[in-house]
């Protein structure tokens, strides 16, 4: 029988071997709280047998024992030859080669084992595979699922959960396993070194039109609604991918996108920001009980500068024909302002859409350059005669451009 392994340690341990506590198996490392086995005097066969019986351990090696194939390849009839070869190898190793302790980077621990090539083929590792166990439950109530399918994608091997929703599967870290159950969403999991797995499967609303036994029923209305929702989610995901540059538009998509842009030229405009500014000094009337500017005062300043911006650029005819009312207002307080602080207020309209505009206001401390407040508000244009919302004309839109 032929067994081959290769020991490779990307990050060796640098603890001093001589300072470790001696034990009957080797020495105890206080840093990692593990027993470190001394492999420097062992043959290839002894190393392989030890690693077969212990999948997780730390070891002390010679530099000649790593990054090469450790092989057991002998027949029962020629037992004495293998023992003689192993003895000669150990003899010459002791006579001519040095042993490295854990104080240098040559001392390693057996945390990573590579797959060697034997006769042109990848040898199967005897150490990488683990037995993974776990349970599959429902996400809605946590009850175990009987008969859920667990698939190891690398080998297509399948197992099924028992009455308690428990399964057991032999796999390697890094493998992907798939969990499936009728009427629920499929989930994938990449395995780590943790051997215990818990998976909760969510109900798939599109697969509720079934029965396990008896007469099959089918609700066309509910199923069609679910399918429409799936198509919508797929379409939104595609639009997001196109927006982020991850996917290109098709020829038909480019055609319809161009048509849509033509209709939106006057409906929705992104303006080049015309910024209107003013400065104020914080007075005692602006201060609250906490000795900083009252929050309500900021709201008043936001409204005042928006009105002043409109009055500064609108003509007399426009002022008589139109007025504004506030639809919604979002304000964010970044830093406090104190008595006699010099503040810069600036506002601009970033967007015109139909009957409304999006206005931004920023309040900045002139001395510290800190942003004190920022706000975003939606204003609607009103016809002064009808007192009803009216669409922004090109003349009004250009006032903010």
Distance CA 216, CA 356 (A): 53
Q: Where are the beta strands (DSSP E) in 47-107?
A: 58-60, 69-73
Q: How far is CA 87 from CA 42, 48, 67, 81, in A?
A: 10, 16, 21, 10
Distance CA 235, CA 238 (A): 5
Helix then strand count (H, E) for the chain reads 7, 22
Q: How many CA atoms lie within 13 A of 350 on its CB side?
A: 10
pLDDT tens, position by position, for the chain (401 residues)?
566 777 777 777 777 878 888 887 778 887 777 888 888 778 878 888 887 777 667 888 777 778 777 776 554 445 556 556 556 655 554 444 433 444 333 444 444 445 556 556 655 555 568 889 999 999 888 888 888 999 999 999 999 999 889 999 999 888 999 999 887 888 999 988 888 899 999 887 666 544 444 444 555 555 677 778 778 888 888 888 888 888 888 888 888 877 876 665 444 455 455 789 999 999 999 999 999 999 999 999 999 999 999 998 899 999 999 999 999 999 999 999 999 999 999 999 988 888 999 999 999 999 999 999 999 999 999 999 999 999 988 888 888 87
């Amino acid at each position: 029988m032929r067994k081959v392994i290769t020991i490779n340690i990307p990050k060796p341990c640098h603890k001093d071997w001589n300072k470790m506590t001696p034990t009957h198996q080797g020495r105890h490392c206080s840093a990692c709280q593990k027993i470190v086995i001394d492999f420097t005097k062992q043959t290839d066969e002894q190393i392989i047998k030890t690693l077969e019986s212990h999948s997780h351990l730390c070891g002390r090696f010679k530099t000649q024992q790593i990054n090469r194939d450790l092989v057991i390849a002998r027949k029962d009839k020629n037992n004495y030859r293998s023992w003689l070869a192993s003895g000669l190898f150990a003899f010459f190793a002791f006579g001519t080669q040095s042993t490295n302790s854990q104080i240098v980077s040559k001392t390693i621990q057996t945390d990573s084992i590579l797959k060697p090539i034997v006769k042109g083929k990848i040898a199967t590792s005897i150490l990488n595979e683990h037995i993974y166990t776990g349970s599959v439950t429902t996400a809605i109530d946590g009850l175990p699922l009987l008969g859920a399918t667990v698939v190891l994608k690398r080998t297509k091997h399948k197992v099924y959960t028992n009455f308690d929703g428990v399964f057991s599967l032999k796999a390697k870290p890094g493998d992907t396993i798939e969990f499936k159950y009728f009427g629920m969403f499929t989930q994938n999991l990449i395995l780590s070194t943790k051997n215990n797995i818990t998976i909760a499967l969510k109900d798939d609303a599109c697969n509720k039109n079934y029965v396990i036994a008896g007469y099959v029923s089918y609700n066309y209305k509910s199923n069609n609604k679910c399918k429409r929702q799936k198509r919508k989610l797929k379409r939104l995901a595609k639009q997001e991918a196109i927006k982020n540059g991850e996917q290109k538009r098709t020829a038909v998509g480019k055609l319809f996108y161009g048509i849509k842009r033509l209709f939106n030229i006057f409906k929705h405009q992104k303006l080049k920001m015309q910024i209107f500014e003013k400065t104020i000094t914080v007075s005692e009337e602006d201060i609250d009980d906490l000795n900083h500017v009252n929050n309500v005062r900021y709201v008043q300043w936001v409204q005042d500068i928006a009105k002043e911006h409109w009055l500064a650029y609108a003509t007399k005819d426009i002022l008589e024909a139109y007025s504004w009312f506030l639809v919604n207002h979002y304000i964010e307080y970044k830093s406090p302002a104190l008595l006699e602080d010099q503040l810069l207020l600036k506002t601009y309209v970033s967007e015109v859409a139909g009957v409304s505009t999006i206005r931004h206001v920023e309040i900045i401390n002139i001395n510290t350059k800190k942003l004190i407040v920022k706000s975003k508000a939606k204003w609607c244009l009103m016809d002064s005669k009808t007192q009803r919302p009216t669409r922004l004309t090109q003349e009004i839109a250009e006032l903010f451009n």
